[in-house]
Amino acid sequence: MTTHAMRGQRGGWLAVLLLALMLWVTALPLHAAEPQHGSTAADQAERQVERPLNNAPVWRAVRSGEEHFTTARSPEAGVLIQSEGNTWRQVRNGPITLYGGWLLILVPSAILLFWLIKGTMKLHGARTGRTMKRFSGFERFVHWGTAISFLLLAVTGLAILFGKHVLLPLIGHGGLGLLLNAGKLVHNYVGPLFGIFVVLMFLTFLRDNVWRPIDAMWIRRAGGLLDGGHVPSGRFNFGEKTWFWFGVTFLGLTVAISGLIMDFPNLGEWTRSDMQTANIVHAIGSILMLALAFGHIYMGTLGAEGAYEAMKTGYVDETWAREHHEQWYHDIKAGKSGHP
């Protein structure tokens, strides 16, 4: 009986050994492949020892721009890093900030110097006390709506673009963060409103900004700005028409449309490249528009006596109308509409 028990025990151990042998044979393919993976892991571990945090092969793959699998549903969702973003950042923080900043310093400086030398363009004749209606209430509403929204966007936009260079040393990171957070909200919400006013400006003043033969004389004499002479014009002179077509219409719509693209990134199938292009176009257009606006603001305030009264009250003195817009003055006096 003891012998029978010993044989049973030996049979049990034999079964265990056979089972272990079968498991080992079954696992051979895995063990055959493990050295390669182990080697890669070892290489990676060695890389971390020699060059800590240097995982170049992985990041090269990530930065390749190839699209991989993701559960997110949006354009380029499978691209983790878009390397062209570095190019956008260098352009924005480099030439746009540098040359744009200098332009916004030199233009108002030149205007200030011109004003100090030439002074305000005074009326040659005495005021008559009789006024003429130059702008309707709706026209002034559209103008001031465009102007106020533009100035809000200009102030907040300048803070966003130049804040870290100009404001950071003055108010610190905390103050700049609060200021830019508020400025960004104002910029994002006022931007679409500005676009609406630009369209209203175009529709309201389009008929008065068409080419007229008398504009050629204004061009030849630079509007009398240098010699102070009288240059006749219609309701708007060629300088005002240039501001209307290039400044308000072209640059205004460019800035508004590019801003809307950035305001509503999910509205269209915008890619990161589209957003970066919109940002560059927006910055360049805004800087150019602001530089031109300095001249328009100057001529509407300090540059010419009586110009501000026209947009403030809607009326101008007859002397002002005759000296600055003689053809328009005669049209009104003759009972015509005053529009081309």
| Interval 95-115: pLDDT, tens | 999 999 999 999 999 999 999
pLDDT of res. 297 = 95
The residue with greater pLDDT, 224 or 140, is 140
Whose structure tokens read 């006024």? 131
pLDDT of res. 14 = 60
Residue pair 188/263 in contact (Cβ under 8 Å)? The answer is yes
From the list 118, 105, 190, the residue with the least C-alpha distance to 154 is 190
pLDDT of res. 223 = 76
Which helix (H) or strand (E) is 53 found in, with range?
none
Q: State the Cα torsion 280-282-283-286 to the nearest 10°.
A: 160
Mean pLDDT of 311-338: 91
pLDDT of res. 184 = 94
pLDDT of res. 221 = 82
Res. 239: pLDDT tops 60: yes
Give the list of residues 6+ apart from residue 32 with CB closer than 8 angstroms, or none.
none
Res. 272: pLDDT tops 90: no
pLDDT of res. 37 = 41
Q: Write down the mean pLDDT value for the chain.
A: 84
Percent of the chain with pLDDT over 90: 56
pLDDT of res. 29 = 45
